[in-house]
Amino acid sequence: MALHLIKLCVGCESVEDLEDWIALKLDEKRKAGLAAEHFHTTRMVPKRVDELLDGGSLYWIVKGGVQCRQRLIDIRPFTDAEGVGRCRLVFEPEVVRTEWQPRRPFQGWRYLGEADAPKDLAAAGTEEELPLNLRRELTELGLL
């Protein structure tokens, strides 16, 4: 059973914002002749790396709820120029939309067990065409 991470997607108003930002960053890296990989730098290094890399994802909280995920493909600890230990969480660039699941804000990331992770929209049989506000309301009413 895979282990996941969950984190706030700071600065994004929507999943589309996240997708656009990823595409922009990958394009900038390609133009600069760098490896076109998507990663997020964090201060803390997960201790359960093997479990996370065994099919785990990072679930993004956007505007008060989990709305999407990205599959983790590598975790790379490093020391920055100031001597501070950091970590790069490397993802597949594809953003997979999930069922909307309400979450309160918190700092950093947290582990998320498979049983607590929201289902992918495609796997849940939910219509992706439903607007977010309608999906959110139907979820809160227990209809999705």
- The rounded distance, in Å, linking the Cα atoms of 5 and 69 is 9
**9-13, 65-69, 86-90 — which is least confidently predicted?**
9-13
Average pLDDT of every residue of the chain: 88
pLDDT recorded at residue 117: 95
- The rounded distance, in Å, linking the Cα atoms of 143 and 135 is 9
pLDDT recorded at residue 92: 94
- 130 to 77, 100, 136: CA distances (angstroms): 39, 12, 10
- The rounded distance, in Å, linking the Cα atoms of 70 and 72 is 6
pLDDT recorded at residue 78: 94
Q: Which residue has the higher pLDDT, 117 or 144?
A: 117
- 57 to 60, 82, 104, 141: CA distances (angstroms): 9, 29, 19, 27
- The rounded distance, in Å, linking the Cα atoms of 119 and 17 is 21
Two tokens, residue 12: 């994004």
**8 closest CA partner among 53, 48, 78, 67:** 67
Check residue 129 and report its DSSP letter: T
Q: How buried is residue 112: exposed, middle or buried, by Cβ count under 10 Å (0-12/13-18/19+)?
A: buried
pLDDT recorded at residue 47: 95
pLDDT tens per residue across span 86-134: 999 999 999 999 998 999 988 999 999 999 999 998 865 555 566 767 7
**57 closest CA partner among 113, 106, 121:** 113
